[in-house]
Amino acid sequence: MAEIRISSAERDDAVAALAVHRSSGRLTHEVYEQRCRLAMFAATRSELEALFDDLPAPHPDLSAAVSPRPPPVPNPEWPGGRTRTRASRVMDVIGVLSLLVGLPVAIVLTAAAGAWWTFLVVVGVAVVAMVLGVALTTPRERAEPWAADAEDRD
């Protein structure tokens, strides 16, 4: 996996932290100048962290330079590897909620008013929502558009 690149702001933070170490006497002027040059030309997080290996805090805040989110792992239960989308999860929640809320309401309406047909509405909404939840899943190839770009660069 490639190294995570850093921004100009993170380079500036590193130079400021080096200045603190210079003012406290931990670095000589020559070492400070050398590390400042290395910090300004650093491209990755590890290059910048190496400048502070032998120094106590303060260190630059590199929390913004984190690895990107790993690609989604396809569920092996889905034929062909399909990935859940936000819309498919919402439809699943609607289907489950319609059963959890709708069935007790249908029982009360049937007992109180004889409206037995409310069971059909509740079950129909639940089935349609869950079928749409499955239909709105994304095939694995479309869920990872960056995979083809990575192969082209190699």
119-145 tens-digit pLDDT: 899 999 999 998 888 888 876 554 444
Predicted pLDDT of residue 151: 46
Predicted pLDDT of residue 101: 93
Sites in the chain below the pLDDT cut of 70: 1-2, 65-82, 139-154
Label each residue of the chain as H, E or C: CCCCECCHHHHHHHHHHHHHHHHCCCCCHHHHHHHHHHHHHCCEHHHHHHCCCCCCCCCCCCCCCCCCCCCCCCCCCCCCCEECCHHHHHHHHHHHHHHHHHHHHHHHHHHHHCCCCHHHHHHHHHHHHHHHHHHCCEEHHHHCCHHHHHHHHC
- pTM of structure: 0.44
Predicted pLDDT of residue 74: 60
Predicted pLDDT of residue 50: 92
